[in-house]
Structure 1
Amino acid sequence: MSVLEKWSPDADNVGCKAFSHLREIHIESCPKLTGDLPSNLPSLKLLIITDCKQLHCPLPTAPDLRVLNLQNCGNLEFPVHVPQCYQLLTSLYLLSSCDSLKFLPLDLFPNLKSLDIWGCKNLEAFTVSVSDVLPPNLSSLRSLIIRHCPNFISFPEGGFAAPKLTLLTINYCEKLKSLPEQMHRLMPSLKEVQLRGCPQIESSTMRSLSIRISDKVREGKQNLSDPLFARFEGLASVCSPSSS
């Protein structure tokens, strides 16, 4: 629908009531679409919005949402102050979207299994709620990927528990200086870490350690003495300029 310009509910908000049982929305390649989306979608489980660069509005409130996929929608607003939207979310994919997003609170997503962020140019950090007891526990997270985020600088201070995380990929985050803290303790299932184009990490002692461990893994040696990598089955530290 290349000429679609506006989705506007009527004055009595009948449009929202009409979608009370809607389970999926796909909005793709609507370059002229502006205005608001339906504000409340209580039954929505899957939301995909791609190539809608003029769409400037908050995402709908969808407490039953399981999959959120946003691509090339820089003007969409990610409502980080509405935690009830994401309690059941299992998959979050952001590609060159939500340019206003600077801080993403990881504890908004207690059931998240896969987090993949690519090209969010203003994202600076993952955060968590302050706790004096234990690091936040992302008990379902299995895959965490962040790529081509030039202003990303930090993970939560003190680390975060992700007992089922098996894959951590960080590519082309030029300002990031360190990996998450206490990985050997808080991420006991971690099997693979992929680093590429992160010069702040690669120029530190982490770089030589990563390369040394990577070489041992390639040679089939199992004596990984450093506690940070003691549980890894594979580690890739790649400096290739190619994009991925």
Structure 2
Amino acid sequence: MDEVLQLLLKNNIEENIAKGLAKYAELLSEANKKANLTRITSPEDVVYKHLLDSLTAVPYLKNGIKVLDIGTGGGIPGIPLAVARPDLKITMLDATENKLKFVAGFAEELHTTAKVVWGRAEMLAHGEMRGAFDAVVSRAVAALPVLTEISAAFIKKGGLFIAYKGMNAAEEAKEAASAAKKCGFGPFRVIDAKVGEFEHKLVIAEKIAETAPSIPRTWAKIKSKPF
């Protein structure tokens, strides 16, 4: 925890936020001994590839908005965002219930207001969560055309879709352009979000039209015939 804290402070993270993030790193490390929550374990990698990477979306999230983290896994990026931005109303969604039990514990122990929801995005998007969020964030979940489709219906018109991607982000954005249009998004913007020596990108699109009632399709159709 001390090494993580020092690295965060070195990267100009406010002390109170850095302490919360370091505590999360400690909790994640302990939980990872019981469940497969992350393969990133060294203090430096945790800081740059998990914590600081998660925070690259902060400038694009307006004060007090409702944010859905799809495929949160061990709480990335939802928990770091909740620690750094307590004004955000964050919901973390995952299809693996066991992981969410740990994540719910992290959220409570870190005194955040973030909550968890268990289920599949393509199914929940046809229920009461449809159109309920100002932004969707997601990291390491699916190829961009697939992620675009399962995310779109959750977002209000005027809201944002933010995908954390790697060096092939621009290519993925081109491949997903058709999906973006069909799902009600404007053009993708690919933004450099380099953290330390690690290359990362954010792919961002604004929701400019309502998503058709038939979207998202079933998982079988999404996987076999992506938009």
Q: Which has the larger radius of gyration?
A: 1
TM above 0.5, yes or no, is no
Question: Relative contact order (alpha carbons < 8 A, sep ≥ 6): 1 or 2 greater?
Answer: 2
Identify, as 1 or 2, the structure richer in helix. 2
